[in-house]
Amino acid sequence: MFRKKKNKFFEILIEWMLRLSGSATTIIILLISIFLFTEGWGLFKSSTVEKGYVLCINKENKIKNLTPEQIKEIFDGNITSWKEVGGDDIPIEPMRMDEVIGMFSEEEIGSDFEHLPERLSDVTAEHKGILGFFPEQFIDIKFKGKVLPAETISPKDYFGGKEWFPTATPAAQFGILPLLLGTLWVSLGAILLALPFGLAVAIYLAELANPTVRKILKPVIELLAGIPSVVYGFFGLIVIVPMIRNVFNLPVGETALAGSIVLAIMALPTIITVAEDSMRNTPLAMKESSLALGATHWQTIYHVIIPYASSGIMAAVVLGIGRAIGETMAVLMVTGNAAVIPHTFTEPVRTIPATIAAELGEASVGSVQYQALFMLGAILFILTLIISIWAEVIRKEPHAE
Kindly list the residues in this chain that would bind other proteins in the complex (CB under 8 A): 211, 283, 285-286, 288-296, 299, 303-304, 307-308, 399-401
Helix 241-248 vs helix 256-280: crossing angle, to nearest 10: 110
Task: Output 290 or 369, the one with its CB closest to other proteins.
Answer: 290
Task: Output 26 or 296, the one with its CB closest to other proteins.
Answer: 296
Alpha carbon distances (Å) from 14 to 6, 21, 57, 395: 14, 11, 71, 33
Give the whole-angstrom CA distance, residue 332 versus residue 230: 9
DSSP 3-state assignment of 164? strand
Give the whole-angstrom CA distance, residue 400 versus residue 110: 85
Task: Output 106 or 401, the one with its CB closest to other proteins.
Answer: 401
Q: Which of 268, 248, 373, 256 is nearest to 317 (CA)?
A: 268
> What is the smallest separation between the CB atom of 264 and other proteins, expressed in angstroms?
30
Please list, in sequence order, all residues whose beta carbon lies within 8 angstroms of the beta carbon of residue 185, skipping any fewer than 6 positions away: 256, 342, 345, 349
Task: Output 203 or 339, the one with its CB closest to other proteins.
Answer: 203
> What is the smallest separation between the CB atom of 24 and other proteins, expressed in angstroms?
42
Separation of CA 376 from chain center = 6
Residue 265 is which amino acid? I
> What is the smallest separation between the CB atom of 312 and other proteins, expressed in angstroms?
13
> What is the smallest separation between the CB atom of 304 and other proteins, expressed in angstroms?
6
CB < 8 Å & 24+ apart, contacts of 299-304: 301/203, 301/207
Is the distance from CB of 233 to CB of 330 less than 8 angstroms?
yes
Task: Output 141 or 293, the one with its CB closest to other proteins.
Answer: 293
> What is the smallest separation between the CB atom of 389 and other proteins, expressed in angstroms?
24
Task: Output 41 or 298, the one with its CB closest to other proteins.
Answer: 298
Task: Output 217 or 286, the one with its CB closest to other proteins.
Answer: 286
> What is the smallest separation between the CB atom of 401 and other proteins, expressed in angstroms?
5
Task: Output 127 or 214, the one with its CB closest to other proteins.
Answer: 214
Give the whole-angstrom CA distance, residue 197 versus residue 178: 29
Separation of CA 132 from chain center = 34
> What is the smallest separation between the CB atom of 310 and other proteins, expressed in angstroms?
9
> What is the smallest separation between the CB atom of 205 and other proteins, expressed in angstroms?
16
Please list, in sequence order, all residues whose beta carbon lies within 8 angstroms of the beta carbon of residue 349, skipping any fewer than 6 positions away: 178, 181, 182, 185, 186, 255, 256, 259, 335, 336, 338, 340, 342
Q: Which of 211, 212, 242, 321 is nearest to 274 (CA)?
A: 321
> What is the smallest separation between the CB atom of 230 and other proteins, expressed in angstroms?
43
> What is the smallest separation between the CB atom of 385 and other proteins, expressed in angstroms?
30
Helix 177-203 vs helix 368-396: crossing angle, to nearest 10: 30
Task: Output 244 or 304, the one with its CB closest to other proteins.
Answer: 304
Task: Output 162 or 214, the one with its CB closest to other proteins.
Answer: 214
Give the whole-angstrom CA distance, residue 179 versus residue 257: 15
Give the whole-angstrom CA distance, residue 182 versus residue 337: 9
Alpha carbon distances (Å) from 221 to 25, 201, 326: 31, 10, 21
